[in-house]
Structure 1
Amino acid sequence: MVLFKRLLKYFALLLVVILFVLGFVLYPLLRGATGYSAKMLCSGVFVEGQSQQRVEQMELTSFPFDRVVNTVDTESKSVTSTIFGLVSQIAVFEDGKGATLFPEGYQAIEGREPLPRLNNDTLPWPQGSIVADTLPAGVDIEGLKQFVDEQFNSTSRAVVIVKDGQLILEKYAEGIDETTPLLGWSMTKTITAALTGILVKEGRLNVDQDALIKAWQDDERSVVTLNNLLQMSSGLIWNEDYSKTSLSDVSEMLYIKDDMFQYASSPKLLSRPDSVWQYSSGTTNILSGILRQCFNNYQSYYQFPQKALFRKIGMEHSYIETDASGTFVGSSYGYCSARDWTRFGMLYLNNGNWYGEQILPEWWVQYSTTPAISSNGKYGAQVWLNASKINIPDMPSDVFFFNGYRGQRVTVIPSKNMVVTCLNSAPDGVDYNYYLTEIMKYISE
């Protein structure tokens, strides 16, 4: 009997240890699952105008997201996501601002007022919505339409093709049109880079600037430059793994942290800056926080993308969502209509000049498309490159593109004076090497 009681005691102790370990491991995963679910549903329903069922089918069918219970409140425009009755997170939508995840509970963000949207329906493309019914020379439009139609599948959301500045083809999935803001995921990184370039042009930042953050100024990170961050070569410790079975740095930042800038800027150096290229969404959110430091008040920061970029090039159906601290999630949460994503590609195609106004520094696009050290020719300054033909081997080496995690891509083709925007909802939904090379068969000039 004594032995039995002793074994029972040890068993109970072991059970407590197992439950503690499981809780330590599982709790962050459950937080991540509810954070992702709440944020994706809130943006999908209230920003993109999709049904709850549609968003869940597109984004939340795999484990553990299929175990999350989501409650969409159309009156408060919020989504609460709960798993196993243990963990819950809330995301809230506000008109003109998008959805915000509040990992520590909802708290209003003061001073976050967007500019009113302009109606450009009476203006010609690309500044406005009126598209010419003529075509540039050398375009086989019937063949191009047939190909795009054949490739448009259940995960396709929108396609826009521009040649010589003219919008020659567009196609949308059901429930989506030319004004629907669509998530670009990491294409947002290039928008953040463009905003950085504008502040460089204004003399408020310098690409060679170091000691960028107060917490870095007295340690080894003081040598990290703005250029290092733009080129993903900072040397900071980071894990960009998107595994569903473990919580990586990127998942913790996006779905558990209130202040993404603070979290992303906290790691130490793993390697000397410029010695290793490492893709990092945290790096771009550091840039976003640095941009915020350039403004004397929050409202000026919040309206900066609209005033300095979106409004100037006709992107009136675009915005970047913020984290709970009010900082733009510059790595991931850009929502723009397919036409607006295309306009942004055209800005880069035209070396940062928008019909006579130099929005970006004259050298910015060349700088952005120069391969970063150690990137093997595949990445510049928050822009993906085809310089070494690693990414799209059958396309010209001058091609560059903005790339999103779920198959979103804006491809700029300077040698053809073209921009091809393809927005998808599955990472393996499009073979872009095949897709783009086939499109080129219908463009003879």
Structure 2
Amino acid sequence: MKLVIRTLKVLGITLALILVIIGFILYPLLRGATGYSAKMLCSGVFVEGLSQQQVEQMELSSFPFNQVESNVDFQTMQVKSTIFKLVSQSARYEEGIGATLYPNGYNEIKGRIPLPVHVRDTIHWPMGSVVADTLAEGINAAGLNEYIRQHFTATSRAVVVIKDGQLIAEHYAEGIDKHTPLLGWSMTKTITAALTGILVKDGLLDIDQPAIISHWSEDDRSLITLNNLLQMSSGLKWNEDYSKTSLTDVSRMLYLESDMYRFASSVKSEVSPDSVWRYSSGTTNIISGMLRLCFDEYQDYYQFPRKRLFNKLGMQHSLIETDAVGNFVGSSYGYCSARDWARLGMLYLNNGVWQGEQILPEWWVKYSTTPAIQSDGKYGAQVWLNASQRHMPDLPADVYFFNGYRGQRVTVMPSMNMVVVCLNSSAERIDFNSYLKGMLQYVQ
């Protein structure tokens, strides 16, 4: 009898340990699933104007997200997502600000006051919405629009084509139009880079100087420059894998952390700067935090993108969402209409000049499109490159692009004086090389 009791105790302790271990591993995963669901639903419904069903079908149809139950409160503009009735997270939308995930509960972010947006519906493109009816010679508009229509799939959201500064074609999915802000995911990194360039031009940042992060000053990270961060060559340890079965650095940052800058800047160095190229959303959010340090008042930081970039370019339908402490999620949460994404591409195509004003430093675009050390010619400064022509062999080597999760892409073609915006809800079966090559047959 004593042996049976002893055996049962051992089994009980073993079972308890197993449950603790499972809970230790499972709990963060469940938190991540609810954080992703709440954030994507809140932004999808209140920023992009989609229905709950549309967002769930597009973003939340696979495991474990299809096990999450979400309530969208249209009166308070909040979304609460719960999984297995055990774990929940909430996101909240504010007009002009976007959706914010609050992993540790709601807290007011003082000074997060959006600037008014200039309405330009009667002004001609590119500063406004009025598009010219006549096209330049050498453009087969009918053929181009038919080509876009034929290749517009169930996962396509928007396509905009710019040639010689003129909007020559655009096509949208049902429920989306030229005003709809659409998530660019990692194309937001290029917005962050442009904002960095503006502060470099102002003399507040220097790409060759060590990053202005106080808690890096007494260890190996003190050697990391802003250039290393912009080129994804900092040597910081980071896991960018978007796994559904494990919580990696990027998932934890985006869906569990209130202060993404603090989390990303807490990682340690693994190798020396410039010795390894490693793509990292954490790196871009470190840059976003550095931008904040350039301002004495939070309100000035928050209004900076609208004041110095969006309003300058006529980007009426654009915003960057913040984390729960007010840092711009510069890696991932930029929402812009397809036309506004095109305007950002045009800024780079025109060497940082907009309507005669030098917005970015004169050397910024050349710097941004110069391959980073160890990147094998595929990456510059928060911009992807076709320098090796490995992935797009049928397009010129001078082509570069802003690239985002699920098939978001702004392709800049300097030798063709073109910008092509493609926004999607899935990257499956998208062959940008063939797609863009086929498009060029209608444009001389």
Shorter-chain TM-score bucket reads over 0.9
Structure 2 CA distance, aligned partners of 1:160 and 1:73? Answer: 33
Structure 2 CA distance, aligned partners of 1:20 and 1:175? Answer: 46
Alignment: residue pair count: 444
Matched, 1:137 2:130: no
What's 1:186 paired with?
186
Structure 1 CA distance, aligned partners of 2:275 and 2:405? Answer: 25
Contact 2:402 2:410 in 1 (8 A): yes
What's 2:431 paired with?
431
Contact 2:200 2:361 in 1 (8 A): yes
Structure 2 CA distance, aligned partners of 1:219 and 1:275? Answer: 17
What's 1:39 paired with?
39
Alignment of 1:46-61 (within 5 A): 46-61=46-61
What's 1:421 paired with?
421
Contact 1:179 1:337 in 2 (8 A): yes
What's 2:203 paired with?
203
What's 2:113 paired with?
113
Structure 2 CA distance, aligned partners of 1:286 and 1:190? Answer: 14
Contact 2:78 2:90 in 1 (8 A): yes
Alignment of 1:93-242 (within 5 A): 93-242=93-242
Q: Which TM-score applies when normalising by structure 2?
A: 0.99
What's 2:329 paired with?
329
What's 2:357 paired with?
357
String of CA shifts for 1:369-425, please: whole Å, max 9, x gaps.
000000000000000000011231211000000000110000000111000000001
State the one-letter code of the partner of 1:407.
G
String of CA shifts for 1:69-120, please: whole Å, max 9, x gaps.
0000000001000001111100000000000000001111111001111110
Structure 2 CA distance, aligned partners of 1:427 and 1:441? Answer: 24
Q: Structure 1 residues 211 and 140 mapped into 2: Cα distance closer, same or farther (>3 Å)? A: closer
String of CA shifts for 1:148-207, please: whole Å, max 9, x gaps.
101111111100001000000001111111011000000000000000000000000001
Structure 2 CA distance, aligned partners of 1:211 and 1:145? Answer: 46
String of CA shifts for 1:286-307, please: whole Å, max 9, x gaps.
0000000000000000000001
Contact 2:211 2:226 in 1 (8 A): no
State the one-letter code of the partner of 1:430.
I
What's 1:70 paired with?
70
Which stretches in structure 2 are left out of the alignment for 5+ residues? none
Moved over 2 A (4+): none
Contact 1:155 1:429 in 2 (8 A): no
Secondary structure of residue in 2 paired with 1:100: strand
What's 1:23 paired with?
23
Matched, 1:310 2:289: no
Secondary structure of residue in 1 paired with 2:72: strand
What's 2:367 paired with?
367
Q: Which TM-score applies when normalising by structure 1?
A: 0.99
Cα deviation for residue 139 of structure 1 reads 1.1
Structure 1 CA distance, aligned partners of 2:297 and 2:202? Answer: 17
Structure 1 CA distance, aligned partners of 2:276 and 2:133? Answer: 49
Secondary structure of residue in 1 paired with 2:91: strand
Secondary structure of residue in 1 paired with 2:159: strand
What's 1:401 paired with?
401
What's 1:412 paired with?
412
Alignment of 1:381-400 (within 5 A): 381-400=381-400
Matched, 1:5 2:5: yes
Cα deviation for residue 53 of structure 1 reads 0.4
Structure 1 CA distance, aligned partners of 2:356 and 2:115? Answer: 24
Contact 1:212 1:224 in 2 (8 A): no
Which has the larger displacement, 134-143 or 338-347? 134-143
Secondary structure of residue in 2 paired with 1:12: helix
Cα deviation for residue 8 of structure 1 reads 1.1
Which has the larger displacement, 160-169 or 426-435? 426-435
Which has the larger displacement, 138-147 or 48-57? 138-147
Cα deviation for residue 123 of structure 1 reads 0.6
Secondary structure of residue in 1 paired with 2:170: strand
Cα deviation for residue 429 of structure 1 reads 4.6
String of CA shifts for 1:291-334, please: whole Å, max 9, x gaps.
00000000000000001100001001001000001000000000
Contact 1:385 1:391 in 2 (8 A): no
Which stretches in structure 1 are left out of the alignment for 5+ residues? none
Secondary structure of residue in 2 paired with 1:311: helix
State the one-letter code of the partner of 1:367.
Y
